A and B are shown apart, each in its own frame.
Chain A
Amino acid sequence: MINLRDKGAQFWERSNRPVRVLTVFAIVAVVAALPYAGNTFLQTPVAAFDAVLVYPMGMFILMALGLNVVVGKSGMLDLGYVAFFAVGAYTMAILGTRTGLNTWEIMPIGIAAAMFAGVLLAIPTLRLRGDYLAIVTLGFGEIVRVSALNSEAIGGALGIAGVPFPPGLGFEYQLLDQKYFYWTIVVMILLVIWVIRRLTVRRPGRAWESIRQDEDAAELMGVSTYKYKIWAFVFGAAIGGGAGVFYASRSMVIAPDNFTLNTSILILACVVFGGMGNIWGVIVGAAILGYLPDRFRFLSDARLLLFGLVLVVFMNLRPEGILPRKKREKAIVKKGSGA
């Protein structure tokens, strides 16, 4: 099969600055124009296409990018990632309905709350490796959901309704036309990509990479593996929390049912399907896995079966995902660079 990742990388290497700038603009333009593609073959039968672009697609991309830092870059299997999404969403829902704070004011609080949850989970569990870590994080995800389910103060099984939309910035966020939600999420995704890329070329990226490849050797090099693992976890949690805040503010209603193990697994599937460790692959993977079930909704129950089948077949054909990580990462620290 053709190696899309290498083709892309080659194209990028060979191109000069104007071509690169043009490419970026073209991609951004296409992505920005997507909400207008609702009347094409892309149209989703039940939910409106612009709504599908926001959720699941946009949200999945954000979460997959966050989870990729933990699983793809640092090699820790987190099966409870949805917990951080839930913490962000509940922070938004509670504060949004009970205080005068708006979405943008709650955003940093929601992110901080998710990071705090990340630290709480990370400190006792990150000394574990492999399977144990997977089991404990899975449990954590369930604990968060079940706690919400059993807390009448935050709505129990019914959850919280009437979560306010974000205040518009010269435009109004609308339910029936979700262009603005979509564009906002695109900006959030770009921001996250930018931050991740900055981190990866710096010490944290090198530390995560070394931990993933050989944790003992990393420790021998002077990498505080425990500290960097917590840092990866908390960073991933922050992205999940931010996504959760926005999700709650768009959905108006949230309930524990939105945060099941299913979501954690699905996000993990996005990461694996797209290409673990490669943010472009993860984005493509999440977009596809977010989109397909909605597109083929007319198949009703069979669609999930089919979805699973497609995944199985595909992963056999391309075990490393659509756009796998580079086999040999580029010299991360170039001599004389400010990294």
Chain B
Amino acid sequence: MRLELKDLHVHYGKIEAIKGISVVVNEGEIVTLIGANGAGKTTTLKTISGLRKVSSGQILFDGQDISNVPAHERVDLGISQAPEGRGIFPGMTVLENLEMGKFNRKDRKSEMDEDLDKVYTLFPRLKERATQAGGTLSGGEQQMLAIGRALMARPKVLLLDEPSMGLAPQMIANIFRIITEINKTGVTILLVEQNAQQALQRAHRAYILETGNVVKEAKASDLLNDPAVREAYLGTGAH
């Protein structure tokens, strides 16, 4: 499994939000995409999951160009997204939300219990709240639900859009720990983050996005020590 964006361009009407980026995510990696507000991170993820159309360029998944595959079929290929702002179903219970994650795999009943167990092990809180409406969960719980729901589809690649957004510091550390845990079970992860510090600590490699362009690609640990990056994204300047 390998996910590759090749010279990808994406437009909103006439505005070009992604101006020809090339990104590679290898099997088993955690790759992070960092950048300022409006850099095009969310757009990139939405284009991979199929919610946005490619203007030109390719999305290669296992060597196949999937840029014309509709979003709902990309789930079946093994691409799952936990969307920005969580995108859970507010009127469904936690359990129903999780079941929705298996919408196309429902015929495999044995999987359901097994995967619910896995998600509940990662997020015990969700089990306690199984019958609570998604919309009444706290922000952090909704984030867990969004990730758990994405996992229900047994993805090969998990796309995470700012999982730490709006969370308390303790919770942030927790979410990132879980992301690493998920990765260790063999799920490849493409992580979009504002919290560059945490993301770079967890990721293997990183891309820096600026107004629709990739301006830097490197090992995450190198970026952590890069003075320019520290200045721009870690808010700590060079020591």
Q: Are B92 and A225 in contact (CB under 8 A)?
A: no
B32 close to A (CB within 8 Å):
no
**Measured between C-beta atoms, what is the minimum distance from A6 to chain B in Å?**
15
Q: In the complex, what distance in Å separates the CA atom of A327 from the CA atom of B90?
A: 10
**Measured between C-beta atoms, what is the minimum distance from B142 to chain A in Å?**
12
Q: Which of A210, A220, A335 contacts B71 (CB 8 A)?
A: A220
Q: Are A329 and B72 in contact (CB under 8 A)?
A: no
A214-B87, A328-B133, A333-B106 are known contacts. Are A220 and B80 too (CB-CB below 8 A)? yes
Q: Are A331 and B95 in contact (CB under 8 A)?
A: yes
Q: Are A217 and B91 in contact (CB under 8 A)?
A: no
Q: Are A333 and B99 in contact (CB under 8 A)?
A: yes
Q: In the complex, what distance in Å separates the CA atom of A334 from the CA atom of B5?
A: 40
Residues of B near A216 (CB, < 8 A) are: 51, 83, 87
Q: In the complex, what distance in Å separates the CA atom of A327 from the CA atom of B113?
A: 26
A-contacting residues, B81-131, CB 8 Å: 81, 83, 87-93, 95-96, 99-101, 103-104, 106, 109, 112-113, 131
Q: Are B92 and A220 in contact (CB under 8 A)?
A: no
Q: Are B83 and A328 in contact (CB under 8 A)?
A: no
A220-B80, A221-B101, A222-B153 are known contacts. Are A328 and B75 too (CB-CB below 8 A)? no
Residues of A near B73 (CB, < 8 A) are: 222
**Measured between C-beta atoms, what is the minimum distance from B93 to chain A in Å?**
6
Q: Are B92 and A213 in contact (CB under 8 A)?
A: yes
Q: Are B81 and A220 in contact (CB under 8 A)?
A: yes
Cβ contacts A208-228/B at 8 Å (1 or 0 each): 011001101111111111000
Q: Which of A213, A332, A333 contacts B90 (CB 8 A)?
A: A213
Q: Which of B72, B80, B89 contacts A213 (CB 8 A)?
A: B89
Q: In the complex, what distance in Å separates the CA atom of A327 from the CA atom of B91?
A: 7
Q: Are A219 and B71 in contact (CB under 8 A)?
A: yes
Residues of B near A239 (CB, < 8 A) are: none
Q: In the complex, what distance in Å separates the CA atom of A336 from the CA atom of B99?
A: 13
Q: Are A209 and B91 in contact (CB under 8 A)?
A: yes
Residues of A near B93 (CB, < 8 A) are: 328, 331
Closest to B112 in A: A335
Q: Are B100 and A210 in contact (CB under 8 A)?
A: yes
Which size class do B's interface residues fall under?
A: 35 or more
A-B CB pair tally, cutoff 8 Å:
89
Residues of A near B104 (CB, < 8 A) are: 221-222
B70 close to A (CB within 8 Å):
yes
Residues of A near B132 (CB, < 8 A) are: 328
B-contacting residues, A162-218, CB 8 Å: 203, 206-207, 209-210, 213-214, 216-218
Q: In the complex, what distance in Å separates the CA atom of A209 from the CA atom of B89?
A: 9
Residues of A near B95 (CB, < 8 A) are: 331
Closest to A228 in B: B72
Q: In the complex, what distance in Å separates the CA atom of A196 from the CA atom of B231?
A: 59
B50 close to A (CB within 8 Å):
yes
Total interface residues on A, CB under 8 Å, equals: 26
Q: In the complex, what distance in Å separates the CA atom of A221 from the CA atom of B105?
A: 10
Residues of A near B71 (CB, < 8 A) are: 219-220
Q: Are B50 and A217 in contact (CB under 8 A)?
A: no
Cβ contacts A306-339/B at 8 Å (1 or 0 each): 0000000000000000000001110111011001
Q: Which of A219, A225, A327 contacts B133 (CB 8 A)?
A: A327
B76 close to A (CB within 8 Å):
yes
Residues of B near A328 (CB, < 8 A) are: 91-93, 132-133
Q: In the complex, what distance in Å separates the CA atom of A210 from the CA atom of B91?
A: 9
B49 close to A (CB within 8 Å):
yes
A214-B89, A336-B109 are known contacts. Are A329 and B96 too (CB-CB below 8 A)? yes
Most buried by A among B51, B113, B132: B51
**Measured between C-beta atoms, what is the minimum distance from B65 to chain A in Å?**
20
Q: Are A223 and B72 in contact (CB under 8 A)?
A: yes
Q: Which of A207, A209, A217, A332 contacts B88 (CB 8 A)?
A: A217
**Measured between C-beta atoms, what is the minimum distance from B194 to chain A in Å?**
21
**Measured between C-beta atoms, what is the minimum distance from B139 to chain A in Å?**
16
Residues of B near A331 (CB, < 8 A) are: 93, 95-96, 99, 131
Closest to B109 in A: A336
Residues of B near A336 (CB, < 8 A) are: 109
A206-B100, A329-B91 are known contacts. Are A222 and B76 too (CB-CB below 8 A)? yes
Q: In the complex, what distance in Å separates the CA atom of A216 from the CA atom of B49?
A: 10
Q: Are B133 and A217 in contact (CB under 8 A)?
A: no
Q: In the complex, what distance in Å separates the CA atom of A261 from the CA atom of B223?
A: 63
**Measured between C-beta atoms, what is the minimum distance from A127 to chain B in Å?**
12
Residues of A near B150 (CB, < 8 A) are: 220
B-contacting residues, A210-257, CB 8 Å: 210, 213-214, 216-225
Residues of B near A225 (CB, < 8 A) are: 72
Query: What 6 additional pairs, Cβ within 8 angstroms, besides A221-B101, A222-B104?
Result: A213-B89, A213-B92, A214-B87, A220-B81, A221-B153, A329-B96
> 10 tightest A-B contacts by CB?
A222-B75, A222-B104, A328-B133, A217-B87, A213-B89, A219-B71, A222-B103, A221-B103, A224-B72, A221-B100
Sample of 15 A–B contacts (CB below 8 Å): A209-B91, A210-B89, A216-B87, A217-B87, A217-B88, A220-B87, A221-B104, A222-B103, A327-B91, A328-B91, A328-B93, A331-B95, A331-B131, A332-B99, A339-B106
A interface, CB within 8 angstroms of B: 203, 206-207, 209-210, 213-214, 216-225, 327-329, 331-333, 335-336, 339
